[in-house]
Amino acid sequence: MKDAVAETDAVALTADLIRCPSVTPEEGGALVLLEARLSAAGFACTRVDRGGIANLYARWGDKGHARSFGFNGHTDVVPIGAREDWQFDPFGAEQAEGWMYGRGAVDMKSGVACFAAAAIDFVTQTPPDGAVILAITGDEEGDARDGTVALLDWMATEGEAMDLCLVGEPTCPTEMGEMMKIGRRGSMTFYFEAEGVQGHSAYPHRAKNPVPALARLVDRLAALELDQGTAHFDPSTLAVTTFDTGNPANNVIPATCRATVNIRFNDAHSSASLTEMIRAEAAAVAAETGIKITDRLSVSGESFITEPGRLSDMVARAVEAETGRVPEMSTSGGTSDARFVQHHCPVVEFGLVGQSMHQVDERVALDQIPQLKAIYGRILADYFA
């Protein structure tokens, strides 16, 4: 029988983490706090800092064990915005009317606190035949080049491995337990520049206007039907997000014009196949108009899917046991660090209701924190059963 006194208080740990001002790329004391708590529970902790980013790897159990379950999450948070817009201190973890307020309350210090607390209690009370691993980064909200990627690079070098991984991002739209993420869409951004010849608007024949050419290109791109969706994904989307000349004069034809296009794509495509398609459209418009069009490309991640099976089944059973809901398996939303973990092992995401993430007065329902901890504890017990 579990000793109730020995239970790790996930609500208190969430509050302690919120009080750490860990706005990307600042560590803010969050990983120092977690390392102390985990080390005291018998976890072997290693700081895997890279490029000015703080990361923490914690393992309970022998390295290279035949069975190892991992959690991944981040303690860095986005900026608070205007302080005067907050009704409570954004790093105060103040409680009111059943809520805890603070930057990172939902995204995702509560998730980290819950899986850390669940892991501590599990290995302390029922030491498993295997390893429990926590890979926690301070670079999810930033460029994400030296966060989870650095942890995975270090793990490969050191012979560390997770068999399965659960990312604790907030996944539920409105009700606790309604959704898990079994994959994510890919994301890529094109930054186009059309180059013409500047001139007087009264003498357009002496100039070469790049604006109509780039407008033609983005109109064609916006009209593309990339696909009609796949088995686990909605249709891919393409959005024109900027169109700029930076031209303050109404009587000058500009020499350059720029536009930005963001694509969220499913597993019918890769970034390479979409790049070929988009650049072919740009080349066609350039040939038709005589305007030089170049681009700069940024790929945030490829689409991926963890096929429903052992991991998603364990998550579903635990969620249903604690909430009475069977979570929908979804691939909606933006990107997360699961896009990196999926190259290492099967990965699923499950966490809290995320309605207030990145908002002023970000807050977490106090009753959901112990509920999430219990879900993570059930998953560990199921895996090592």
- Measure the CA–CA gap between 275 and 188, rounded to whole angstroms: 9
Cα Rg, the chain, nearest whole Å: 24
Question: Using an 8 Å Cβ cutoff, are 335 and 77 in contact?
Answer: no
Question: Using an 8 Å Cβ cutoff, are 88 and 101 in contact?
Answer: yes
CB contact set of 187 (below 8 Å; sequence gap of 6+): 262, 263, 264, 265, 299, 300, 301, 334, 335
Question: Using an 8 Å Cβ cutoff, are 294 and 259 in contact?
Answer: no
CB contact set of 152 (below 8 Å; sequence gap of 6+): 135, 340, 341, 343, 344
Q: Which runs of consecutive H residues, i.e. helices, occur in 290-333?
A: 310-323
Which of 16, 27, 35, 76 is flagged as catalytic? 76
Q: Would you mind telling me the total number of residues written for the chain in this entry?
A: 385
CB contact set of 359 (below 8 Å; sequence gap of 6+): none
Burial classification of residue 219, based on how many CB atoms lie within 10 Å of its CB (0-12 exposed, 13-18 middle, 19 or more buried):
exposed
**In 3-state terms, what secondary structure has residue 204?**
helix
CB contact set of 50 (below 8 Å; sequence gap of 6+): 146, 150
Decide if 140 is catalytic.
yes
Look at residues 288, 78, 48 and name the one whose alpha carbon lies nearest to residue 147: 48
Which of 27, 121, 140, 362 is flagged as catalytic? 140
Residue with tokens 């689409």: 303
Q: Please report how many Cα atoms fall inside a 13 Å half-sphere around the Cα of residue 251, on the Cβ side.
A: 1
Look at residues 195, 376, 184, 366 and name the one whose alpha carbon lies nearest to residue 282: 195
Annotated catalytic residues are 76, 140
